[in-house]
Amino acid sequence: MDKKTERISQVIMVSVFLLFIFGFAVWSFLLKDREFSEMENRNLTQFPTFSWKSLKEGKFTQELEKYISDQLPMKDELVTLKTDADRLLLHDLQNGVYFGKDGYYLQDYKENTEQIKKNVGFINDFVSFCPDTEIDMMLVPNSISVMDDKLPSTAVTQDQNKTVDKVKELLSAKIKLYCPMDELKKAVSDGTQAYYKTDHHWTSDGARAAFDGFMKFLGEDALKAEYSCKELNGFLGTLYSKAPSAFAQKETMKLYTDKNTKLSVEYVDKDKTSDSLFDSSFEDKKDKYSTFLGGNFPLIEIKSEGAQQNKKVLILKDSYANCAMPYFTSMYSDVSMIDLRYYHDASKPTVSEYVKKNGIEKVILLYNVDFLNTDDNFTWLM
């Protein structure tokens, strides 16, 4: 290549680079800012308000950097392109998610022993405040443990069975602890899709397998309810959002409704009531899992006319509990749900006070292993 040709080549490369950079800048300027990302299920940063003080303190430049990142044109498409490029290079782990066999996304797990000890300690303290109340716990393993055969051969993760054993050692003897590992593994081996392929939650069918095992473990009668089923298609979940790929498989979500019970669902503090466990406004959104109860709330109280048992039950929960509610409300006539992530108002009764004030006969803690391993809101039990 002669010098003239080489120079022309360099000019073209620099021109393309500058066109790309300034083209995106102009494009960003012309586009209307997005307020919400369905892919990330969060509000996006808006252009920061300028002041000399915020500039001096570095706050303005920090917010400006977040703004540029959030409002980048075609951000979702570019992230997807990067994910698929990494997959072609045989990178099996991205953003904490393993690309497993048969299209399964599996969230990596590393035990946080200190957080486990803290959270179990708060649970044990709570037990001492409710000495006359039956307290049971369902600790649900995640898909990476139940479906470890789907992991790529290069995966290096930790065994949730060891975490469950640790919880058993630390937990108060007053609490009956049930882990549906065997029931979920059996359900999978029998052909049930117990977990979504692109989401960190279990499916309604996985929740039913665990619920039936839980009732048997507690010595309760088997659930006799009959359900109708509505299917939602095109679901791509939270793990897909962490590592979006053009190869991801859209899924079907099942909504089960008891044919013989009448529900009254009260969203306490929201001045909202419903006769259904499902919020249809999420059916056409990416966040279809929020169709179950409309998402997570501090306190929901559900009365179920025609339930199998006349009993007042409080469920302390994470989002895994949401799709299991059709079964609990078929079994128990009065079910309250408290999510400690949002139950922070000092004007509200503590959880133990709520138990006494409302005549709760049974408390069920329903959490997935990774939640107990990472969440820092159990302090709000007291």
Query: For residue 286, what pLDDT is reported?
Result: 86
Let me know whether 255 and 165 are in one domain.
yes
Let me know whether 65 and 106 are in one domain.
no
For the cut 80, the answer to whether the pLDDT of residue 361 exceeds it is: yes
Asked whether residue 350 is domain-assigned, the answer is yes
For the cut 70, the answer to whether the pLDDT of residue 80 exceeds it is: no
Let me know whether 272 and 306 are in one domain.
yes
Which helix (H) or strand (E) segment is 340 a member of?
Answer: none
Asked whether residue 78 is domain-assigned, the answer is no
Asked whether residue 91 is domain-assigned, the answer is no
Query: For residue 348, what pLDDT is reported?
Result: 86
Query: For residue 16, what pLDDT is reported?
Result: 47
Let me know whether 118 and 203 are in one domain.
yes
* Contacts of residue 189, Cβ cutoff 8 Å, sequence gap at least 6: none
Query: For residue 292, what pLDDT is reported?
Result: 98
Let me know whether 194 and 285 are in one domain.
yes
Lowest mean per-residue pLDDT among 83-87, 253-257, 359-363:
83-87
For the cut 90, the answer to whether the pLDDT of residue 47 exceeds it is: no
Confidence band for 31, pLDDT divided at 50, 70 and 90:
low
Asked whether residue 207 is domain-assigned, the answer is yes
**Residue 326: CA atoms inside 13 Å, Cβ hemisphere, count?**
27
Q: 255 pairs with which residues across the strands? A: 230
For the cut 80, the answer to whether the pLDDT of residue 102 exceeds it is: yes
Which residue, 55, 73, 91, sits at the end of a domain? 73
Let me know whether 169 and 266 are in one domain.
yes
Q: What is the mean pLDDT of residues 70-99?
A: 71
For the cut 90, the answer to whether the pLDDT of residue 9 exceeds it is: no
Domain that holds residue 270: 99-381
For the cut 60, the answer to whether the pLDDT of residue 8 exceeds it is: no
How long a stretch of residues is the chain?
382
Let me know whether 28 and 152 are in one domain.
no
Per-residue b or e along 289-324, where b marks 16 or more CB atoms closer than 10 Å to that residue's CB: bbbbbbebbbbbbbbbeebbeebebbbbbbbbbbbb
Which residue, 56, 73, 90, sits at the end of a domain? 73
Let me know whether 183 and 115 are in one domain.
yes
